[in-house]
Amino acid sequence: MRKFGRSFRTTAPLPATPARVVVVGGGFGGFYALRKMQKLLGPERASFTLVAPNDYLLYSPLLPEVATGVLDPRDIAVSTRQTLRRTKLALGHVTSVDFEQHRLKVSGPESDTELSWDKLILAPGSVTRQFDIPGVAEHAHGLKTLSEAVFIRNHVLAQLDAADELPDTEAGRAERKERLTVVAVGAGYTGTEFVAQMQNWIRGIATRWASIDPSEIRWLLIDLAPAVLPELGEKLGKEAMDVLAERGVEVRLGVTVASATATSVTLTDDDVVPARTLVWGAGVAPSPLIAQLELPTEKGRLVVDPDMTVPGVADVWAIGDAAAVPDLAADPSKPTPPTAQHAQRQGIAVARKWPPLSASETDARTSTRIWVW
């Protein structure tokens, strides 16, 4: 066993040629799997390729801070070229995988290509969950990417600019209401963090517009569920709800959106809210790539064994939001929730599992640094 930084390299027999490891998706799961494998496996053992549409790891939990201008986009984008020095980057989306031939197709910004792999780690994450609700696809804005975060910020500021210019007529007052109302759907991380951060920020700067009083701006957080931030448990959820209510955010639980237009949101209790800003944070769905693989899924997530191998296909692992990894720490009959903390842990764990290390090496590395937001 040879020490390498804070990790240990394996002393298993060298392969004739370095194994080609391909990772799909450079989010929390894929990034941390690669970072760990680069430490554990020298160039004589493995070469690494990351297929991803971007050349950065996006710290999505901090997207609300970008939407509110607290952070710059570059502050939450970690360059993969800079951090994963031994990893070749194939920019693009994987469009199909041939598990028998160990080949996959990548559609890139400039050209399409094919890659061969000896070991494959699937970590394509999730996308904003779309519901078949009239008007939502056209008028709601997701908060999953840097460009969406920047768009929302500019959009909200543009509403203040426009509202400030409106005449004091009946039509002007009606439009002012629409422009000064923000509706966030989904009281999970995305919707709750967004509305809390955005309201706090706008409250502080609204007096820059001559005619706008911060209290005039209406904020709504709505969810079909009976609680805010259910991931955090009843007590913290209640505290979050109290803070929002104290700040003047209307929290409407047990309802959702029935339809949306460019100027209004109709709720399932028939209330029509005049609003030109609708932010959609009502859950995520696995990357569309998973459905194309024609492998068993659980609520859209790829079924994997507890060691994150994909049953029925050799040398393939899946982790993060896209995989239904049994939650061994809580309830193994359920998958781990789609969170950055789980994806990161799974990335590190899968890197340690391959190639198989001796028991003493595995035991020597039981602790791992996990970020808690």
Ligand X SMILES: Cc1cc2nc3c(=O)[nH]c(=O)nc-3n(C[C@H](O)[C@H](O)[C@H](O)COP(=O)(O)OP(=O)(O)OC[C@H]3O[C@@H](n4cnc5c(N)ncnc54)[C@H](O)[C@@H]3O)c2cc1C
| Subset of residues 99 to 158 that bind ligand X, contact rule: CB under 6 A | 123-126, 143-144
Instruction: Report how far residue 238's alpha carbon sits from residue 76's, in angstroms, rounded to the nearest whole number.
Output: 29
Name the minimum Å distance from CB 44 to ligand X: 27
Are 367 and 132 in contact by the 8 Å Cβ rule? The answer is no
Is 189 or 219 the residue whose CB approaches ligand X more closely?
189
Report in angstroms the alpha-carbon separations of 14 from 7, 44, 50.
19, 7, 23
Q: Does 265 bind ligand X (CB under 6 A)?
A: no
- Report the half-sphere exposure of 236 (CA within 13 A, side-chain side): 9
Which residues contact residue 267 at a Cβ distance below 8 angstroms, ignoring those fewer than 6 apart? 222, 252, 255, 256, 257, 258, 273
* Interaction between residue 80 and ligand X (CB under 6 A): no
Per CB under 6 A, does 286 bind ligand X? no
C-alpha span between 154 and 247 (Å, rounded): 23
Listed ranges 5-13, 200-208, 333-341, 354-362: which one lies at the site for ligand X (CB under 6 A)? 333-341
Cis status, amide bond into 355, omega within 30 of 0: yes
| Residue 15 vs 108, nearer CB to ligand X | 108
> Which stretch, 54-62, 154-162, 206-214, 356-364, contacts ligand X (CB under 6 A)?
54-62
- Min dist. Cβ of residue 64 to ligand X (A): 6
273 binds ligand X (CB under 6 A): no
255 residue type, one letter: V
Under a CB-based contact definition with an 8 Å cutoff, are residues 52 and 146 in contact?
no
**From residue 172 to residue 201, what is the string marking binding to ligand X with x (rule CB under 6 A)?**
-----------------xx--x--------
Query: What residues act catalytically?
Result: 193
Structure tokens at 80: 């993969």
- Interface residues with ligand X (CB under 6 A) are 24-30, 51-54, 60-61, 63-64, 93-94, 123-126, 143-144, 189-190, 193, 287, 289, 320-322, 338-341, 343, 373
